[in-house]
Amino acid sequence: MNNFAGADTLIEICYFIATALFILSLKWLSSPATARRGVLAGEIGMALAIGGTLLHHGIVDYKWVVIALVLGTIIGVPLGNVQMTAVPQRTALSHAFGALCVTLVGTAEFYLRAPDIPPFMMTVLSMEVILGSLTFTGSLMAAGKLQEILPQRPITYKGQNFVNLALLGSAVVIAGILVAHPEQMRLFPALIIVPLIFGVMLIIPIGGADMPTVISLLNSYAGLSAAAMGFVLNSKLLVIAGALDGSSGFILSVIMSKAMNRSFTNVLFGGFGQIQTTAAAAKEERPVRSATPEEAAGILASASKVVVVPGYGMAVAQAQHKVRELYDSLTKRGVDVTFGIHPVAGRMPGHMNVLLAEADIPYDKLLEMDVINGELPQTDVALIIGANDVTNPAARTDQGSPIYGMPILDVDKARTVMVIKRSMAAGFAGIDNPLYYLDKTLMLFGDAKNFVGNIVRELSGSDGHG
C-alpha cells in the first residue's frame, strides 16, 4: 500500500511538471528566437507524463501498451517528415488521430461504467464522444480535400443546412436521453455514428480557401474533446492540455474568419458555392496588359522596393525555391524585397511563412498585412504569385461583391503591379478581380515556378544593366 502511495505521488509530480512545461512550451513559441526551446519543453513534458503513467499501479499488462507505443512511433515518424507543402493535410490528419483517440477512450469508459453514470459525468462523456467523432470524420474529409483525393470544390445541395442541423440536433437529443437514462446502452452507438455522419456533411460544402478557418475550428474541437476526456478521467493534465489546444484553435479560427470578413456560421453554413455560378456568368471580356519574363525582369531590376505577395498558387506550383532565387538576385542588386503575407493565404494559418522559411527566406522579410499595407504606397513593384482574392480591390470598393469588407493587401497602391497567373480564370470565390484590368497591372501568364525561373535567368543574364 505504501508503495502504491509513493508511486502515485511520483505520478502526480510528473503530471504537475508536465503541465507547467506545456504552458511554458506555448509561451516560448511566441517568438522564433525561443520557439525551439518551446518544442523541447513540450517533449520533456510529454516524456514525463507518459513515463509517469507507465508507473501507474493499475497497469497489469504492459505488452500491448508497449506494442502500441512502438507502432504509433512507427506511424508518427513519417508523418513528421512529410514535405512542407503537405503540412496542411498532415495537420488535418493529426486532428483526426487525436479525435479518434479521444472517441475510443470515451467509448471504452462508457461501457466500463454504464449503467451507473451520474448525469453530469454522462454530459461530459457525451460531449467528448460527439466532439471526438465529428472531428474525426470532419478532419479526414478536410485531409482528403487538401490531398486532392476528394474534390476541392464545395459541394452544396438543397436543404443542406437543414440536414446538418437535424443531424447535430439528433446527436444532442440522444445525449440528452442517455444523460437521463444511462441504462439505455443500446443508444450509445448512435451517439458515435450520428456525429460521424455530421462530420462528413459539415466538410462537404467547404471550399479550399475556407480551409484555414475550418482546420482551426477542427483544431479547437479536438482540444475541447480532449478537455472533456480530462473531466471524465478526472485528469487535470488532460483538462489543461485540452483547454490550451481548444483556445489555440479558437483564436486561430477567429483570426482566420476576421481575415475573410466572415463569421464562423457563415464559413460553415454559407458556402461560397452558390455565388460561384452567378459571378462567373456575369464576367465579360476586358483587355489586359501582359508581359514577358524579359520585360518583367527589366522592371524588377530598376525598382528600388519590391513586395512579393504569395498565395496558394505558389504552393501548388512549388515555386518557393525559385522565389528565393529571385529574392537573392534582386537583393544582390540592392533592391529591397519584402513579402506581404495575408492571414488566409494558403490552406492553413501560417502556411506561406513555413513555405518561404523552407526556401531559406529570412523571416524578418515576411511581413503581416497591416505592416505591408503601410508600405505598399511607397512600393515600386508588387509581384503577386498565385494569390487572387486576397488582393482583390473589389473587397474595398464594390459593395455588391461577395468578398466586400474582407481586409486585403492593397497591392493596387503600388506603382506597378505584376500578377503571375496561369490564365484569366477567376479565383476560388469565382469573383472577377478588377486589379487585372488596371493600367498599372501587367499579367504574367504561365506556371509560377517556370515564370519566376525565367525572370531569374533574365536577371542573371543582364548583369550590369540594372
Partner 1 sequence: MKLDLLSSLYVFMLAAFIGFEVIRRVSPLLHTPLMSLTNALDAIAVVGAIILAGEHKSNLAAILGTIAIVAATSNVVGGFIITDRMLRMFKSSGPKKS
Distance in angstroms (rounded) separating the CA atoms of residues 297 and 285: 28
Q: Which is nearer to partner 1, 200 or 354 (CB)?
A: 354
Cis amide prior to 362 (ω within 30 degrees): no
Q: Which is nearer to partner 1, 174 or 215 (CB)?
A: 215
Q: Which is nearer to partner 1, 234 or 399 (CB)?
A: 234
CB of 13 to partner 1, least distance (A): 14
**Which residue in the set 107, 253, 388, 392 belongs to the binding site for partner 1 (CB under 8 A)?**
107
Residue 328 appears among annotated catalytic residues: no
Residue 148 dihedral angles phi and psi, to the nearest 5° = 65, 30
DSSP 28-51: HTTSTTTHHHHHHHHHHHHHHHHH
By CB under 8 A, tell whether 102 contacts partner 1. yes
Q: Which is nearer to partner 1, 123 or 290 (CB)?
A: 123
Distance in angstroms (rounded) separating the CA atoms of residues 449 and 320: 8
Neighbours of 343 (CB within 10 A): 20
CB of 464 to partner 1, least distance (A): 22
Q: Which is nearer to partner 1, 260 or 419 (CB)?
A: 260
By CB under 8 A, tell whether 50 contacts partner 1. yes
Site for partner 1 in 192-221 (CB under 8 A): 215-216, 219
Please identify, among the stretches 66-74, 149-157, 193-201, 291-299, the one whose residues bind partner 1 according to the rule CB under 8 A: 66-74
By CB under 8 A, tell whether 76 contacts partner 1. yes
CB of 46 to partner 1, least distance (A): 6
Site for partner 1 in 349-368 (CB under 8 A): 349-351, 353-354, 357-358, 360, 362-366, 368
Q: Which of 250, 254, 271 has its CA nearest to residue 263? A: 254
Q: Give the x-and-dash track for 398-437 against partner 1 (CB under 8 A).
A: ----------------------------------------
**Which residue in the set 1, 2, 64, 281 belongs to the binding site for partner 1 (CB under 8 A)?**
64
**Which residue in the set 7, 8, 17, 23 belongs to the binding site for partner 1 (CB under 8 A)?**
23
Using CB atoms within 10 Å of the CB of residue 213, give its burial: 0 to 12 exposed, 13 to 18 middle, 19+ buried.
Answer: buried
Distance in angstroms (rounded) separating the CA atoms of residues 108 and 362: 48
Please identify, among the stretches 42-50, 311-319, 405-413, 451-459, the one whose residues bind partner 1 according to the rule CB under 8 A: 42-50
By CB under 8 A, tell whether 1 contacts partner 1. no
CA distances from 54 to 7, 47, 62 (A): 10, 11, 8
Distance in angstroms (rounded) separating the CA atoms of residues 159 and 344: 29
Please identify, among the stretches 115-123, 152-160, 308-316, 437-445, the one whose residues bind partner 1 according to the rule CB under 8 A: 115-123
Contacts (Cβ under 8 Å, ≥6 apart) of 165: none
Residue 344 dihedral angles phi and psi, to the nearest 5° = -105, 15
By CB under 8 A, tell whether 53 contacts partner 1. yes
Please identify, among the stretches 1-9, 53-61, 157-165, 307-315, the one whose residues bind partner 1 according to the rule CB under 8 A: 53-61
How many residues of this chain interact with partner 1, rule: CB under 8 A? Answer: 116
Site for partner 1 in 324-343 (CB under 8 A): 328, 331, 341, 343
Site for partner 1 in 245-274 (CB under 8 A): 245-249, 251-252, 255
**Which residue in the set 191, 201, 217, 229 belongs to the binding site for partner 1 (CB under 8 A)?**
229
Q: Which is nearer to partner 1, 26 or 424 (CB)?
A: 26
By CB under 8 A, tell whether 371 contacts partner 1. no
Q: Which is nearer to partner 1, 92 or 431 (CB)?
A: 92
Report the amino acid identity of residue 366: L
| Segments in 29-147 forming alpha helices (H) | 35-54, 63-80, 87-113, 119-146
The sheet that has 441-445: what strands, in order across it? Answer: 366-368, 336-341, 305-310, 381-385, 416-421, 441-445
CA distances from 47 to 15, 41, 404 (A): 10, 10, 49
| CA-based radius of gyration for the chain | 26
CB contact at 8 A, 117 and 125: yes
By CB under 8 A, tell whether 234 contacts partner 1. yes
DSSP 434-460: GGGGSTTEEEEES-HHHHHHHHHHHHH
For residue 195, the Cα-to-chain-centroid distance in whole angstroms is 22
Q: Which is nearer to partner 1, 50 or 165 (CB)?
A: 50
Catalytic residue from among 61, 210, 360, 389: 389
By CB under 8 A, tell whether 59 contacts partner 1. yes
- As annotated, the active-site residues are 389
